[in-house]
Amino acid sequence: MLNIDIIIPVYNAEEYLERCINSIDIDTNKNVNVILVNDGSTDNSLMLCQKLEKKHEGNIKVVDQKNKGLSGARNTGLEYISGDYIAFMDPDDTYDVGYIKNCIQRIKKFNNPDLVITPYKRVYGEEKIVNNLYDVTDKELVLNGDDILKRLYGMDIKEAINPATMNDLSPVWGKFYKKSLILGKKFIDTKEIGSEDLLFNINVVNTDIRAVYIPDCYYLYTKTNNNSLTANYNENLISSWGNLFSLMEIQAKREKYNTEYFTRLDVRKYLSKMSLVRAIYNSKNLTLRNKVSIAKKTVKNPEYNKFKYSDFPNMISRWKILMWLCDREYMYVLYIIIRLLEPYKNKLK
């Protein structure tokens, strides 16, 4: 029997944690062990974790610690793993019906691959929007490490149709990692690097691994939690993304990846400046003047300007317009457009 460990960092999650645990369906999936890391919650999350531990005795372990942040909580969880495969889950998210059972069936079908990847649905209240990670919907897709690493590094120029999908493969949730693949690996906090998930995956995946993409099992990514990290502006945003790109480049050189990786990274840098500008403009603790000043300094960075919008022939028109405005440094116009589009972001991806 395959044993699955699911690491869930918990911080002030009392409103939705039970829904998350229910979606795992532990009563059916007795081979699943959940590691709940209470990361210094100030609400009743610890009490709820302990209640769930008692209810599912033997299948849930609670670890209580002072607040260390998302990466610190996940790293603590990694100290307690014992299963054949390890998964990560956020406490405000859920699994689709039959998710665990179906994924285990495919793991066995494909003779225990190193990594299993599933698509996800973005959940906005009652609305669910499907994010398919690969262009298949009716059969599994066998991948090698090179296929995945290239996607993680960035888009090819011809692939850059909708840059909003560039990070769809980056999250650690929606994946099952063979234990041997992640032993000794750690997360680095977003205060230091732009995306702890992206860097973790780049450090974990090597060109020799075998992976399987399962197109009909969905992780449900909830987008309505206002306390989510993705809703808060990180003051270290610019420097942390710069650190991430530097680490990615260092790894590509160390591992002697071919030139395609460096091109993809340069494309990622160029397209990322739009995401950085959006984060700056949506922040609540800056004046408009400060937002424009920081955003303009960001888009002027030479590292983010190794391309221009006209280099991407397949890019959809709205992204071409946004990148043209970035290239021309029309920051006030860009601010107005971003603020107007923000209420429709779930429809525009």
Query: Which domains, and CATH codes, for the chain?
Result: 4-222 (3.90.550.10), 233-348 (no CATH)
* pLDDT at residue 231 in the model: 45
| CA atoms of 139 and 311, how far apart (whole Å) | 34
- CA 234 to the chain's CA centroid: 16
Directed axis angle between helix 196-204 and helix 237-254, to 10°? 10
Residue 264: the pLDDT is 98
CA angle 264, 268, 270 (to 5 degrees): 115
Supply the DSSP symbol for 227: T
Instruction: Say what angle helices 196-204 and 145-153 make with each other, to 10 degrees.
Output: 150
Burial of 296 (0-12, 13-18, 19+ CB in 10 A): middle
pLDDT at 284: 84
Matching residue, tokens 């995306």: 195
Let me know: does 145 contact 205? Beta carbons within 8 Å: yes
Q: What's the pLDDT at 236?
A: 83
CA distance 135 to 156: 16
Find the Cα–Cα–Cα–Cα dihedral 43, 44, 46, 51, rounded to 10°: -170
C-alpha dihedral (134, 151, 103, 80), degrees to nearest 10:
-160
| Model pTM score | 0.93
Torsion angles phi and psi, residue 95, rounded to 5: -100, 150
For 308, phi then psi, to 5°, come to: -135, 165
Looking at residue 170, its pLDDT comes to 96
CA distances from 221 to 4, 98, 168, 313, 317 (A): 20, 16, 12, 31, 27
- The tokens describing 47, both together, are 């009490």
- Edge-first strand order for the sheet with 120-124 is 94-95, 219-222, 120-124, 127-131
Structure tokens at 166: 């560039």
User: Tens of pLDDT along the chain (349 residues)?
Assistant: 899 999 999 999 999 999 999 999 999 999 999 999 999 999 999 999 999 999 999 999 999 999 999 999 999 999 999 999 999 999 999 999 999 999 999 999 999 999 999 999 999 888 889 999 998 878 999 999 999 999 999 999 999 999 999 999 999 999 999 999 999 999 998 788 888 999 999 999 998 999 999 999 999 999 764 443 334 556 788 899 999 999 999 999 999 999 999 999 999 999 999 999 999 998 888 889 999 999 999 999 999 999 999 999 999 999 999 999 999 999 999 999 999 988 877 666 6
* CA dihedral over 10, 94, 143, 164, signed as positive or negative: negative
Task: Give every CB contact of residue 156 below 8 A, 6+ residues apart in sequence.
Answer: 150, 260, 263, 264, 267
Q: How far apart are CA 163 and CA 183, in angstroms?
A: 32
Contact indicator for 255, 126 with CB cutoff of 8 Å: no
Task: Give residue 223's pLDDT.
Answer: 78
The confidence score (pLDDT) of residue 224 equals 64
Residue 128, both tokens: 């669910």
